[in-house]
Amino acid sequence: MDTPPVRLTSLAHGGGCGCKLDPAILRTLLADQPVAGPFERLLVGNETADDAAVWALDDGTCLIATTDFFTPMVDDPHDFGRIAATNAISDVYAMGGRPMLALAILGMPVGKIAPAIVAEILKGGAATCAEAGIPVAGGHSIDTPEPIYGLAVIGSCDRAHVRRNADARAGDVAILTKPLGVGIYSAAIKREALDSAGYADFIATTTRLNRVGADLARDPEVHAITDTTGFGLLGHGLELARGAGLTFVVAGDAVPLLPRAAALAQEGFVTGASHRNWASFGSQVTLPAGLPDWRRHILTDPQTSGGLLVTCTPGRAEAILAQCHAAGFAQAAVVGRFEAGPAAIRVEA
């Protein structure tokens, strides 16, 4: 596809999940909000930092509802649509469900982007939905200063298969299904410093559907699942730790990375969101002495359409890793463990 006359990334102040609100600000905003209320069938609401809401139906089936949207992190409109749709659908998989249908969320700066470019964004999203086996059944569009695209997604699962991010257990190991470095690559893309091979790696990981989550949730020894997005591995790992009241011990050397992530991070390709993430929750993270800044930036790097962070009993880890590898997540790896202690993170070298 020809490069658009106007770079999509030049129209946005941030990109992908890196444009999420600062996690500390978000916690402050939500602290004074009323909980969803005493609805017997609301199994998962805003009482935890979960990926989606879950509502129980009479027959034991649950509906899963979520929404996710953001500004561009790439200039190719079709790729932008694919990434945004993959990211939105991931929330359903992270709850243990399968998607049923989607509604498009579209905001475009009228007069700055040609209609043909907007159409390509929508086609990219529809292509990903078709891959997931669901329709884009409608949506809503407005005129906005920056380009915005995403989906509201409805899914379903059996009640027994719902997996929250608050149910990790002491002794669980943590498995990450995708490599880190998406935000670092995004920073390089914005500065036109990522080569074609790097871009291909970037697209491959951000458009891989996390459908393995629905399969893993059927394993009773899988206790908690979340997807790793804008708050980075440490931020979303901290949400798991807070929910369970445990310490998440991260095995820093075991964390999988995109091929050029380490080199680019050392060259200074770091997002503003990475700095914001650390400022928000760094006080609850213990790092090993002498850890280079670039390695810390990788751990707080905002992931757009990142991997699932899964906790399970140690005895099932090998089988679950094999299941992830067979599903196409070649770099899935054990990245840490949960142990008794304060709701915090300790990174080991």
Known binding-site positions for Mg(2+) = 51, 91, 227
Radius of gyration from C-alpha coordinates of the chain: 19
For the chain, give the longest Cα–Cα distance: 57
Name residue 247's beta-bridge partners.
Answer: 339, 344
Residue 10: DSSP 8-state? G
The answer to whether residues 338 and 249 touch, using CB atoms and an 8 Å cutoff, is: yes
Report how far residue 175's alpha carbon sits from residue 336's, in angstroms, rounded to the nearest whole number.
7
CB neighbour burial string for 132-159, b if at least 16 within 10 angstroms, e if fewer? bebebeebeeeeeebbbbbbbbbbbbee
Give how far the C-alpha of residue 65 lies from the chain's centroid of Cα atoms, to the nearest Å: 16
Order of all β-strands in the sheet with 344-348:
222-227, 308-312, 173-176, 333-340, 246-251, 344-348, 285-286
Burial tier of 39 (Cβ tally within 10 Å: 0-12, 13-18, 19+): exposed
Coil, strand or helix: which one is 148?
strand
196's CB contacts (< 8 A; 6+ apart) are: none
Under a CB-based contact definition with an 8 Å cutoff, are residues 237 and 252 in contact? no
C-beta of residue 164 within 8 angstroms of C-beta of residue 194: no
Instruction: Give alpha helix (H) positions in the chain.
Output: 23-31, 77-94, 115-132, 182-190, 196-206, 212-216, 232-244, 261-266, 272-281, 293-300, 317-326
> Which of 17, 62, 157, 324 is an active site residue?
17
Q: Which residues are annotated as a binding site for ATP?
A: 20, 48-50, 68, 91, 139-141
User: Annotated binding residues, as ranges?
Assistant: 20, 48-51, 68, 91, 139-141, 227
Q: Rounded to 5, what percent of the chain is helix, strand, coil?
A: 40, 25, 35
Place of tokens 């905002």: 302
**For this structure, is 17 an active site residue?**
yes
Q: Are 97 and 51 in contact (CB under 8 A)?
A: no
As a whole number of angstroms, the distance between CA 185 and CA 199 comes to 8
The residues assigned a catalytic role are 17
